[in-house]
Each structure stands twice: as C-alpha cells, then as structure tokens.
Chain A
Amino acid sequence: MALYEESVHKAFDRIKHSKLNAYITLDKEGALETAGKVDDGKVSGRLAGMTVAVKDCITTKGLLTTCGSKILSGYVPPFDAEVVARLRKEGAVITGKTNMDEFAMGTSTESSYYGPTKNPWDLTRVPGGSSGGSGAAVAGLECRMALGTDTGGSVRCPASFCGVVGIKPTYGLVSRYGVIAYANSLEQVGPMARNVSDAALLLDVIAGHDPKDSTSVPHDACYTDHLVEDVKGLTIGVPKEYFGEGTDKKVDNAVWSAIMKLDKLGADYKEVSLPHTKYALSAYYIIAMCEASSNLARFDGLRYGLRIGKDENWHTTFSRIRAEGFGEEVKRRIMLGTYALSEGYYGKYYLKALKVRTLIKQDFEKVFKGVDVLAAPTMPTTAFKIGEHADDPLSMYMADIDTVPVNLAGVPSISVPCGFAGKLPIGIQFIGGFFDEPKIIRTAHTYELNTDFQKLPEGF
C-alpha cells in the first residue's frame, strides 16, 4: 500500500480505538482520496500527504460543520474557509473536524454538544479549550497537526494542557473568512503541532493577505526560515503580573527554569511590568460576550441548522429554536452580552472595556521597546478535572488570565511544553510584538531543541 494512504489508515485506526472524543466529524473517504492523489504524484505542495485536523468552527465545503453546537447540527457549508482552501492547495490530508466548546466559548472543551474531549495525558482531565479536540488529536497522534482558533487563549490553553505547540498569530495575519465568529475582533486561526517546526510550517501555509477579510493585513514572511537555533542577544521580558496569585507553584518553577535555560543559551532576561493586566479579564469577557451576542443572532433555524416546531409566528419559532439549540454557556454569554450592549449600559461596559483594551495594547507597545519577547506561563495551572468548574463558571474564566491580554492587544504568542507537574504537561508562552512571529518562533524552536519535553502521553 502506498505511503500516505497507509498513514491515513493508521491515523483512522487510532481514532477508531480512541477514548479521547477528539473529533466530531471524520472524513476518511476524503482523506484517503487526497492521500491517494499524493501517492500517485497528482497532488503536491508543502503539506502534501500530511494529516491535518480542522476545528469544527472552521467551515469546510461539503463537510459537516457544527461549531460544537446542537443548533448547527446537520449544517454542511457550501464553501471552504480561506485557511482550509490554503490547506487543500498545499496537499494537506484533512482528517475531519475536531471537537470544541460550543461556539468556542470555554476553557475546557466540556461544553460541546457532542460530549467533552479527554486529555490524552489523563482521561479524567480536560484537554483545555476551546480547541481541545485539536490539541488532543495532535497529542494523541490522531493527526500530524491541527487548526484551532484562539479568541482568549483557545489554541494556547489546549496546547499547554496537552503538551503540544500552539501559535496565536498577530490579528490580521490569518484570514478569518469562513471562521464561524464567536468574538471576531479577538480571534485568529492558529496552528497546533507536536513541535515548533510543524507549527511554523502550518503557519506559513495559512498566513497571508485575503481580500475576502477586511481585517486581513498584507504581510509577507516565511516562518520556517526562522527555525534557527539562536537566541543570543535576545532580551526576554518577564512580566511579573503573569506570575500572580493562582499560579501553581510547579508552573511557576517550570516557567522560570525555562527562562534560566534561555539565559544560558545566550538570551538576557529582565522583569517587566504590564500594569493593566489586572483589568484584562473583565474587559475581555465584556467584549467577547458583546460580540458573541451579535454574532450568534444569525442562528435562528430559518435557513440552515436546527429546525423545531412549525405553524407558529416567526417570533415564537426563533425563540424556541434558540432556546433548544443553544447550550447553557452560550446562553449565559449571549444574555450578558445583550445586557452589556443595551442602551444605558453600552457606555458603562462596552466602551469602558474598549478603553481598557487600548491601555493593554499600549502596555505591550511600551514593553516591546525594551525587550524582544515576553515569557510567561500559558496557563496558571495544569489541566483540571472534568467537571471541576461545572458549578462555578467564574472560576473557569479566571484560568484565562495569562492568555487574554494577548488577544486584546492583537499581538502573537506561541505556547510550547516546558515541563511536567506529575504526569501533566506545563506550557510556557513567548509573546511578541506585532508581526514578530519570527522572533517567538525562533525563541521557542531554540528552547525546544535544547530541552526534552516533546514527549508522547503514556500508551501512545
């Protein structure tokens, strides 16, 4: 049997026996067809024959796209997202659509209508969210790499919890055309892979200007060119606000060891401050929920997706479909966002959050005048137990404290494994200035080459 077809069979075999629930939809037929074409030399490209899984909020032509929700169950998009089109053009073998928190709202992939995904390192724990399916699929060898989306840390969190690499690119670097919006001013599609070079390769393919997305920025860079082992002369800033209360001691230690390691490899480090970090979480949730309340208004069952009830007026029909079609976390955010945008509250909440956002952006701009990259924990803890935060959504929101400022500012960040707490992986993130992906990739790559944390979970 031909090489790539065989690797597809292997991956699907693994998925078949998997306990991870990393996928919502599989496309074995399509994957085998593409792999066959690569084997026959009919298809080539930078990702030729490589298996890539796609988060279920990214539309795929002819392939079910549910966003982890009931309301979009049965929705088959008539077009490909720009990033998916780019994958296909480079010969990628798309294995299927990965599980996620419903409409990407979550830090754990527990809120999926299709059941939670499990962490390959410990099946009683969450893989992180909302791109938990992508993170678990990569860590569990159910694909070579995957696409996630990062709105407030949704690529980096599962990368950290699952012990893989994830990149949140600069806002505007990757097209959002075909990404089902949760909070569109914050989110970017990001690559996930088992090492920095694969992640950089995937970024090479998906990055680049797209006239179909007005926020897409023309920016030309080849990220794989920056896979060099060299951090000499690089100044690493260590923002003290990212090591605050709630940060697990083991995480703290692992991240500091990583910084020391880089120091030994020739980089300098210094403590810095991003003073408005303490407001980031509140601002983030207000902006995200406001945008979500508007973005999710289109799901009314009229043209696609779930349709329940008939012979009623449209008002009743819409309400019933939305009441039955949305999960609890989504409803919570829609209602809070609707409230915060309504007359009399807009200025009090939304506008204020935008002001905070500006201050946070200025924090980053200021700090990057003195340092090349920032190093900080990706998540304040390791993966938590499934159901641990079920009754207390606020405590889960707190977990995003180290990731959301990056999304508010629009700067890039990469998360790479930097140690273990027991058997659970810990992640460190390197944050860069606008379009400084080359620098953070170089830092992460150098670090990865000089450490030994790219392990496979037990039994994989």
Chain B
Amino acid sequence: MLLTALCASPLLWGPTPEARADAYAGMDPEQKGLAIAQEADKRDTGFVDMTADMRMVLKNRHGESSERQMRMRTKEVSGDGDMSLSVFDTPHDVKGTAMLTHSHALEADDQWMYLPALKRVKRIASRNKSGPFMGSEFAFEDLGSQEVEKYAYKWLRDEELDGHPTHVVERYPKYDYSGYTRQVAWMDKGMMQPLKVDYYDRKNDLLKTQTFSGYNQYLDQFWRPNRMYMINHQTHKSTELSWSNYQFRVGLKERDFDRSGLKRAR
C-alpha cells in the first residue's frame, strides 16, 4: 500500500514514469530494453557501500525446512562489478566461513573462500556461477552484482503486475557458462527495481520464479527488498531470503575486501 503510494508520488521520482516513457520513444525493443537496464543501474549507482543481514530458509517439496544466516558487505566499484563479502553465522558447522567475490561484468568473477577450521584461504574456480548457493534455489549468478554488461536485453511489453506498472524486459546472459538461456524481469516503473524474474534453463524451459517484496528506500535513493522468494518449478523446492538491518555508507575500505580482509571477517 505504502509502496504504491510512494511510487505514485512524482516528487520522489523526478520525471514521472509517463515522462520517462517518452525517452524510450522511437527505440527498437533491444534499445529500449538496454535503456531500461541502464536507467535502473544509474538509479542504483552511488550507494558507496552497504551492509545487511540475511536469513535464508530452504524448503524441500515435503515442506521440510533448513535455515542459514549470514552477513553481507558490499562495496561499489565504479567501472567494474562490485566487491562483496559474505560471512556465515549458521549452520553452526560453517560459522565464520567467509566468501569474498570481486565480480566482473564479463569475465569470470574472482572468488576466495576462508575456511575457519583450517584457517585457510582458498581461491575457488568461479566458472560455477550456475551452481546453487549453499544448497539453496539461488544460484551464485542470481545473487551476484547485476552489471548492465552481463546481459543483452529486449523490452517485451509494459504491463501491470499486482497493481504496479512495470516494464517487462527479457535479458540474455552473455556469460558462456550461465545456467540460463534467458530471464524475464518485471521492472517496477517507479522504483526501477525488479518485482519478479522468471528464469529459463538451458533447454529454455521455465525453471524458477523469483519475487521481490517489502521494498524500502534508503538515503532517499536506493531501493532494497526485505524479502526475496525463489520457487523452483521443476523440483518444487523453494528458498526465501529475508533481509534486515540494511546500512549504507558505513565506511568500508578496499582493504576489507582483499584476501587479508577475509581472515578477519567474522
């Protein structure tokens, strides 16, 4: 309700969705898809750094659930993918395990893992972007920083999703080893953030649907969801991510995101 009210307020948005729609006039669907992605990226640029807590609930087809908790830190990198550090608090046997990612637009990400039991930092092969993150329905590539250059785009149509005006944009991963042939994203015209994404597997069958809800705006600019829900249509397993305690511009340093920073992250 609040979200709808906010989205309708032109004061918060600068140009109204209608005015911006004109900016896309005369573009072909590919150009328009790219322009929408660039606009979304532009709106989300400048957050500098961010920390948040994440709770993950995994459910199998019988409804049995399993939980993970972690803390995430992200630092914006201009001209390249962001750097992020995730530290696990549960399950207890992986407590203190930390994963450092330097994401890149087109090359494979650089990824290191810190294993506290051995005090060992391991650099891991990062081709596996399509693999599941901690046994969940989220792949590494679903959670990585979404750089514009990672996809080719095509605008499909505008439509309302649960009362929100959206751009429906199809995107095609450029990364050779992506688990997907394409994704269809419903971008809220006001926030320029996704409300829903359908993921199609390598055989182009519908694999998963991700929905985003509970968006809040931070620093009068950046929208972040409190909840992401991913359902796998083929296995009927699901994963819910609950985000809390978002903080921006907390003064994270580049040093916190190098190999040595991994060992003291906990």
A binds B: no
